[in-house]
Chains A and B, each alone.
Chain A
């Protein structure tokens, strides 16, 4: 009886503390947003933060934009439930930055202005290429937004301690999740419409700082518990999982071997390769990451920001090992799946366990849980703001200004349209998120990576490096890669025909892999090549201009 009461008191404290901390974060970020809105006068301010950020600031903001709920909640969850396989995400998400650093960041910064399509359409006919790029930017961003909102929904039930059958402010767990998704959506719309890129960037910098601090503190506590002996942490995690040393090896989640079923084993291994290739090639095709390179004044600053980002992001992903295995050892798989089937709440649950151990009983647990939960909400808010900004910029600058108005829109009109677009895209994301709540967020993000790598990366690389590339090639590459990825996902076990699918009671799947990258990425490259050779168009002068500007920074905005 007493322990129940203590737990009740703990959860009420946690609830109040989380809400307080979260409101403080919201108040600070809204203040920043209002301040940023006063500094936002021109279109360059709104889309690119006035190009006034330093390499370090932008590196932090990239970290804040990139380390999403998938990185913090999703990876920790997969490692906690399936062991080593979750680490594959950390590695793929990090190595991917080399594609951005070596092949894309500086050339894009030099030759583009506000959106990804500025580079894709540079030497092409504007309207078809910009339309395709806007479609693809919005598709990728919506996939990614879904993942973040699902993470927010999963968190809230844990944070507010709403168990089945109980209510909070008259809401049961399901209603509270929907309410959270709507609130997160409303906040991101405010950040973007009011603060533009400047406001969004500062929100991301604050978030990166909070997330790194939170992850470092938790890692130190986990390691302190094991006297800084990684091997004994791993041993404890393995025995707590009940799977022994297999927990520390690849193969429990991806590339699972099905004895006696060679075809199933083969598909499973292909799915692992597919995920691997999507992770490493996706980053450099993510529109919300690409537009961050426009917020610094020069290509050299863009390079510096990627170097900072690699340092920050790499450090964070190393910490996911301690968070994931720590959750496996100290919380346990059963307790995690009881809270969230996909494991998305492993990191906050670990915080609660650590707080209980180190800071005195359930009150300490409640406090650390509240802090880490508020950090997780901050994480989600910063990422969704970046995604909303990327899609609304593309809708306004690419589709409205250059397709509908054929380049004749005033800056003022463009920015107004961007603000309205943020509202519309936010509303769509809120509506869709309510249907995707049973999926692991790292997994959903992996799908966004596959779509970005298939639809955007081929067109970007061809644009920057292939002289012969033309309008037809760009349009084929974008629609081909995008359609292949989306269609394969739709007919995969992610959407139907599996217990964990979005529609578990229906089955229309025929594509055996849950990540489409292995097929759709090469298909995107192939489409780009076919489209190019089918058309005779070639603008020699514009290619010379693009190449010279991209490599030297002459004429850069």
Chain B
């Protein structure tokens, strides 16, 4: 138990504690959940944005095609980038509130006493 740890060696105990937490199943689950969301989402929005930039460079005919009045594909495609950004931000916020925060809070509470050893200067 942590209360048995000699006060003279708090640094080692903190390091061991973090290492133990990092190797725990609960933490591995948290990492997997976070990376499982943010990595694919990053790839997705990056490719979607890259597609927009590449079409702007190489598909001028397509981008210039008029849809309604003077509103062309380029403008709509650009506005869709706004929509996708807002949607992804909203999805992430919902995901983090539900799937990340509760687990992170639980793990933080479990290692709560370690944090005090950092003191105000940390």
Q: A98-B85, A547-B31 are in contact. Are A249 and B78 (CB under 8 A)?
A: no
Are A554 and B34 in contact, with the CB atoms below 8 A? no
A318 contacts partner chain B, Cβ-Cβ < 8 Å: yes
A303 within 8 A of B: yes
The answer to whether B111 touches A251, judged by C-beta atoms less than 8 angstroms apart, is no
- Mark the stretch among A66-74, A87-95, A288-296 that contacts chain B: A87-95
With a cutoff of 8 Å between Cβ atoms, the chain B residues found around residue A540 in the complex are 19
B82 partner, pick from A91, A269, A273, beta carbons under 8 A: A91
Interface size, A (range): 35 or more
**Complex: A548 Cα to B28 Cα, angstroms:** 10
Given A280-B46, A553-B104, A553-B108, A102–B75 Cβ distance below 8 Å?
no
**How far is B89's CA from A303's CA once the two chains are assembled, in angstroms?**
10
User: With the chains together, A318 CA to B63 CA distance in Å?
Assistant: 19
Given contacts A91-B52, A231-B69, A249-B72, contact A552 B107 (CB under 8 A): yes
**Is A101's beta carbon under 8 Å from chain B?**
yes
**A544 interface hit (Cβ, 8 Å):** yes
Residue from the list B14, B45, B53, B71 in contact with A272, Cβ < 8 A: B53
Question: Which one of B23, B42, B122 lies within 8 Å of A99 (CB-CB)?
Answer: B42
Which B residues from 52 to 71 make CB contacts under 8 A with A? 52-54, 56-58, 60, 63-64, 66, 68-71
Q: Using an 8 Å CB-CB cutoff, how does the interface string of B105-122 with A read, 1 for contact, 0 for none?
A: 101100110110010001
Distance (whole angstroms) from the CB of B110 to the closest CB of chain A: 9
Question: Which residue from chain A places its CB closest to the CB of B117 in the assembled complex?
Answer: A555
- Which residues of A are found within 8 Å of B50, using beta-carbon distances? 276-277
Q: Which chain A positions have C-beta within 8 A of B38?
A: 102-103
Instruction: Tell me how far the C-beta of A439 lies from the nearest C-beta in chain B, rounded to whole angstroms.
Output: 23
Which interface class (under 10, 10 to 19, 20 to 34, 35 or more) fits B? 35 or more
Question: Contacts A98-B89, A101-B89, A280-B46 hold; do A269 and B74 have CB atoms under 8 A apart?
Answer: no
Contacting pair B115 A101 (CB below 8 A)? no
Cα separation A245 to B69 with both chains bound (whole Å)? 11
Q: Which one of A31-39, A232-240, A339-347 is at the B interface? A: A232-240
* A residues in contact with B42, CB < 8 Å: 98-99, 102-103
Decide: A307 and B89 in contact? CB cutoff 8 A: yes
Interface presence of B81 (CB below 8 A): yes
Tell me how far the C-beta of A118 lies from the nearest C-beta in chain B, rounded to whole angstroms.
10
Q: Which residue of A lies closest to B88 (CB)?
A: A98
- Closest Cβ of chain B to A318, distance in Å, is 6
Query: A465 — which chain B residues lie within 8 A by C-beta?
Result: 35
* A512-554 vs B, Cβ < 8 Å mask (1 yes, 0 no): 0000000000000000000000000000110011011101111
CB neighbours of A90 from chain B (8 A):
78
Chain B residues within 8 Å of A, Cβ to Cβ: 14-15, 18-19, 21-23, 27, 30-31, 34-35, 37-38, 41-42, 45-46, 49-50, 52-54, 56-58, 60, 63-64, 66, 68-72, 74-75, 78-79, 81-82, 85-86, 88-90, 92-93, 96, 101, 104-105, 107-108, 111-112, 114-115, 118, 122
